[in-house]
Amino acid sequence: MRIALNARILQAPRTGIGHYVAELVNALRSDTDIEIELFHGWGWSSALPEAAMPGYSRLTPLLRQIPGAYQARRWLEQKRFDQARAHGIDLYHEPSLWPLAFDGPTVITLHDLTHLHYPETQPPARLQEIERRLATGVRQAQVILTDSQAIADEAQSCFGLPAERFVVAPLGVAERFHPRDAHTIDPVLKAHAVTAREYFLCVGTLEPRKNLRLALRAHALLPEAVRQRFPLLIVGMAGWQREQFSAELRQALASGHVCLLGYLPDEHLAQLLAGARALIFPSLYEGFGLPVLEAMASGTPVVLTRASAMPEVAGDAGNYIEPDNADDLRDALIRLLDDQVHWQACREAGLQRARLFSWQRCAQATAGAYRQAMGG
């Protein structure tokens, strides 16, 4: 079975969906019945590209300013993709939003419905295309993959589709996320002026949906001495409408107790996760919440909200907070600082919980979706 997988997202710096595509492709290659061909927008390849870093393209921001540029690019991609049958493709898998046209079985991965809940997180031209094409694309697919049951339930209601059209394939955790001795991660931590287990970490694109304002407010409520010893590090690229909380962020940075690290290489992020006192993940909406799983696999407790799919990931290992209560988050952080028994229990529960997830299991569920779409 030859699968065409749209891998154009791998041209960008890898965040959630990019990591999903790369890890899934590697895991699927252990299935001898499946052969993956990657479509990257202008042609085909069987090899994964190297991960891009920010600044990979100076053209993309310019295209956003040109009327019709987004539609023109999609038209050109469709023309290139029309060669799929000539490549002997049996099935097309679209891992992000709406699929290109294909005259054979199609599987789509619907990670979330962010565009409905938080349309401000999408550039206007892209949002217009999502609203115009997504419903048709979802109905075109024989099978819709989701990362969580929460999103499957939401999508069934939104699109009026039966449950049997959906397959839940929870994400996995990459091998680089595991507990590490303090001395092995010390060089990376020193580069950011922190010590193992003496900092809090936030991971996520700087946009309103990630609710980083709550983390800033809660950290500011900690006593001065605690903030000085346990700074807050924020890892992630600048996102859409980040200016909504830029004043608070500037104030927090000026205090010297908050550090904005930007986008980091994968290995550096893995080491920072393994050394943090806790991951703070106060997001308002997630289709899965991959950093939560990665932190638990690294032996780091997580503080998070119960929004959308995140309880499916953290289970009983999470320290749950209200998404609009800075005092609630501050109290959770203080307990993780003062109560070593509680901190250790959270660490062990997270490690145990993380063992339930793997990219191999995700690939097995995905392969099952392929066979279902093929009528097998």
> CA-CA distances (angstroms) from residue 154 to 146, 150, 166, 224?
10, 6, 11, 43
**For 63-97, how does the pLDDT look when each residue is reduced to its tens digit (9 = 90+)?**
556 667 777 888 888 888 888 777 899 999 999 88
| DSSP-assigned beta bridge partners for residue 202 | 234
Q: For the chain, how far is it from start to end, CA to CA, in angstroms?
A: 12
Q: Quick one: average pLDDT of 347-364?
A: 98
Q: Where are the domains of the chain?
A: 2-172+358-373, 182-354
In percent, the amount of the chain with pLDDT more than 90 equals 68
Q: Running DSSP on this structure, what letter comes out for residue 308? A: T
The reported pLDDT for the residue numbered 58 is: 45
| pLDDT exceeds 80 at position 122 | no
Q: Quick one: average pLDDT of 252-274?
A: 92
**For 174-204, how does the pLDDT look when each residue is reduced to its tens digit (9 = 90+)?**
999 999 999 999 999 999 999 999 999 999 9
The reported pLDDT for the residue numbered 376 is: 62
Distance, CA of 204 to chain centre: 8
Fold: same for 2-172+358-373 and 182-354: yes
pTM given for the model? 0.91
| pLDDT exceeds 50 at position 56 | no
CA distance 25 to 296: 23
Q: Running DSSP on this structure, what letter comes out for residue 157? A: H
When pLDDT is cut at 50, 70 and 90, the band that residue 321 belongs to is very high
The reported pLDDT for the residue numbered 75 is: 85
State which amino acid sits at residue 313: V
How many other CB atoms are there within 10 angstroms of residue 252's CB atom?
24
| DSSP-assigned beta bridge partners for residue 268 | none
CA distance 222 to 326: 10
Q: Are strands 44-45 and 35-39 parallel, antiparallel or unpaired?
A: antiparallel
Please provide residue 202's backbone torsions phi and psi, each rounded to the nearest 5 degrees: -115, 140
- Which CATH number is 182-354 given? 3.40.50.2000
The CATH label, of 3.40.190.10, 3.10.20.30, 3.40.50.720, 3.40.50.2000, for the domain at 2-172+358-373 is: 3.40.50.2000
**For 342-354, how does the pLDDT look when each residue is reduced to its tens digit (9 = 90+)?**
999 999 999 999 9
Angle at 234 between CA 123 and CA 15, to 5 degrees: 50
The reported pLDDT for the residue numbered 68 is: 73
Nearest to 20 by CA among 337, 303, 294: 294
The strands making up 35-39's β-sheet, listed across from edge to edge, are 44-45, 35-39, 2-6, 91-94, 106-109, 143-146, 166-168
The reported pLDDT for the residue numbered 61 is: 54
Nearest to 90 by CA among 3, 5, 6: 3
